Amino acid sequence: MSLHDLFRQVMAIYEQEKREKLSKERRSFQLVTRAIPEALKTLPFLPPDRYMAKGSVGQGVWTDVPWVAVMDQEVTDSTQRGYYIVYLFSEDRRRLYLTLAQGVTETPRDEMERVKRDIRQLIPAEERVRTDDDIRLGESKRAKDYERSVAAYIAYSFDDLPSDEQLARDLKTMIGYYRQYVERTEPMAPPDFL
């Protein structure tokens, strides 16, 4: 199944399934935690030795904002800290955002604001990629925390979700910005002299 179809399916069924008890057997759980990450891992610009894809619909109870993250393992292996690419589904499931964001659990607010500013300065003005604070995920505390963590994003709507080719191009663009930021900020490993 294509990325386009996987995302649309989550957007179409999540709200109904969320009314039931969270279970690994639910289709939304399967899509977000397995199918979408597996589809992302097949993209040639996401080598598995460097990038990890992981999704979540919540722990114990359904989250209002399901997500699928793509993390550079040299930067972070957890969505609770560091910065990474993450698809965020809005609470009403009408929008999907491809974002360059940060972990909200372990990142102090002042550091989050600094990193967000630094990333935004790196990204050139571009039609598809936005670097403002107009992202709208919903009204829950979690949605608001996620909105604050986003440095850049591309917004999609349920009614006008782009083709697989465009989704892949957009992700490749965001990965490019992610890499640029990583290369500018992460300390270089010392040379290995024998």
pLDDT tens-digit series, residues 75-116: 888 888 888 999 999 999 999 999 999 888 877 888 888 889
Domain count, the chain: 1
Q: What is the pLDDT of residues 152-173, one digit of tens each?
A: 999 999 999 999 999 999 999 9
Domain harbouring 10, CATH code: 3.30.920.90
DSSP letter assigned to residue 160: G
Mean pLDDT of 114-133: 87
Pairwise CA distance, residues 174 & 29, whole Å: 25
Whether 50 is covered by a domain: the verdict is yes
What single letter denotes the amino acid at residue 150?
Answer: V
Whether 194 is covered by a domain: the verdict is no
Whether 190 is covered by a domain: the verdict is no
Whether 191 is covered by a domain: the verdict is no
Domain that holds residue 126: 3-185
Whether 168 is covered by a domain: the verdict is yes
Q: Which residue has the tokens 């963590």?
A: 149
Helical (H) or strand (E) element with 52: strand 51-56
Share of the chain above pLDDT 70, in %: 95
Asked whether the beta carbons of 96 and 89 are under 8 A apart, the reply is yes
Q: What is the DSSP string of 62-97?
A: --SS-EEEEEETTT-S-TTSSEEEEEEE-TTSSEEE
Asked whether the beta carbons of 149 and 88 are under 8 A apart, the reply is no
Assess whether pLDDT exceeds 80 at residue 10.
Answer: yes
